[in-house]
Structure 1
Amino acid sequence: MHVSKKEIEVRYAETDQMGIVYHANYLVWMEVGRTALIKDLGFLYKDMEERGVLSPVVDISISYKKPLRYGETAEVHTWIEEYNGFKTIYGYRIYNPDQELAIEASSTHICVDKQSFKPIQFRKAFPDWHAAYEKAKK
C-alpha cells in the first residue's frame, strides 16, 4: 500500500474564533492529499479533466480527534483504501506536529463524463491509472 504524505502549514485564515482549524478546511486538505497521491503515482488530475472526465465525491466521512492551530504544521497521509475499477475510496489521516491524530477520514469517488455526468469505468478509460491504483491500494 502506498501512502502519500504532504505537509501543510496552518494559515490564520483557516482558523475560527476559537483559534483552531475550521472543520471544512480539512476537506480542502484532503483534496491536497489526493492530488499528491495521484502525482506520486505518476499522474495529474488535470490530465483527466482535459480528457473530459471528472471525479466527484459521492460520500465523505470525517472523525475529528484533536484540533490543529494557527502556526502548526499538519501532515496529511493519503492512500487508496478500496478500489474496484469503478469506485475509489481514499483514506486519510491528518496529524499534528506531535504526530497525534487530528482527523481520520475517507472519501468515495467515481468518474463521470464531464458533459453528461454519466458514470464511466475508470479501468477502461484510464488503463495506466487503473494498473497503478491496483498496485497502490490497501
Structure 2
Amino acid sequence: MIISQKEIEVRYAETDQMGIVYHANYLIWLEIGRAYFIQQLGFQYADMEKRGIVSPVIDLQISYKKPLRYGETATVKTWVESYDGIRVVYGYEVLTPTNEIAATATSKHVCVTKETFQPVLIRKYFPDWHEAYERAKKR
C-alpha cells in the first residue's frame, strides 16, 4: 500500500469563532491530499479532464477527533482504500503537529464522461492509472 503525506499550514481564514479549523475546510484538505497522492503516482487530474473524463465524489465519510488551530501544521495522509476498476475509495488521516489523529475520512469516486456523466472503466480509458491503483491499493 502506498501512502502519501502532504503538510498544510493552517491559515487564520480556515478557523471559526472558536479558533479551530472550521469543519468544511477538511474537505478542501482531503482534495489537496488526493491530488498530491495522484501526483506522487505520476499522474494529473487535469490530464484526465482533457480527455473528457471527470471523477466526482459519490460518497464522503469524515470523523473529527482532535481540533487543529491557526499556525499549526496539519499532515494529510492519503491512500487507496479500495479500487475495483470503476470506483476508487481513498482513505485519509489528518494529523496534528504531535501526530495525533485530528480526522479520519474516506471519499468514493467514479470516473464518468463530462458530457453524459456515464461511468467509464478506468482500466480501459487509463490503463496506466489502473495498474498504478492496483499496486497502490490497500491489501
1:28-50 CA-to-partner distances (Å, cap 9, x unmatched) read 00000000100000000100011
Q: Name 1:123's counterpart in structure 2.
A: 123
TM-score (ref. length: structure 1): 0.99
C-alpha distance in structure 1 between counterparts of 2:52 and 2:13, whole Å = 33
1:61-106 CA-to-partner distances (Å, cap 9, x unmatched) read 0000000000000000000000010000000000000000000000
Name the aligned partner's letter for residue 38 of structure 1. I
- The count of corresponding residues between Structure 1 and Structure 2 is 138
TM-score (ref. length: structure 2): 0.98
C-alpha distance in structure 2 between counterparts of 1:76 and 1:113, whole Å = 29
1:50 matches 2:50:
yes
Q: Secondary structure at the match of 2:26?
A: helix
Q: What is the CA-CA distance between 1:123 and the residue it aligns to?
A: 1.1
Structure 1 stretches of 4+ moved >3 Å? none
1:3 matches 2:3:
yes
Q: Secondary structure at the match of 1:129?
A: helix
What are the within-5 Å matches in structure 2 for residues 1-80 of structure 1? Answer: 1-80=1-80
Q: What is the CA-CA distance between 1:15 and the residue it aligns to?
A: 0.4
Name the aligned partner's letter for residue 127 of structure 1. P
Q: Secondary structure at the match of 1:109?
A: strand
Gapped regions of structure 2 (runs ≥ 5)? none
C-alpha distance in structure 2 between counterparts of 1:86 and 1:116, whole Å = 16
Q: Secondary structure at the match of 2:20?
A: coil
Identity %: 64
C-alpha distance in structure 1 between counterparts of 2:95 and 2:104, whole Å = 9
Q: Name 2:103's counterpart in structure 1.
A: 103
Q: Secondary structure at the match of 2:76?
A: strand
C-alpha distance in structure 2 between counterparts of 1:125 and 1:24, whole Å = 32
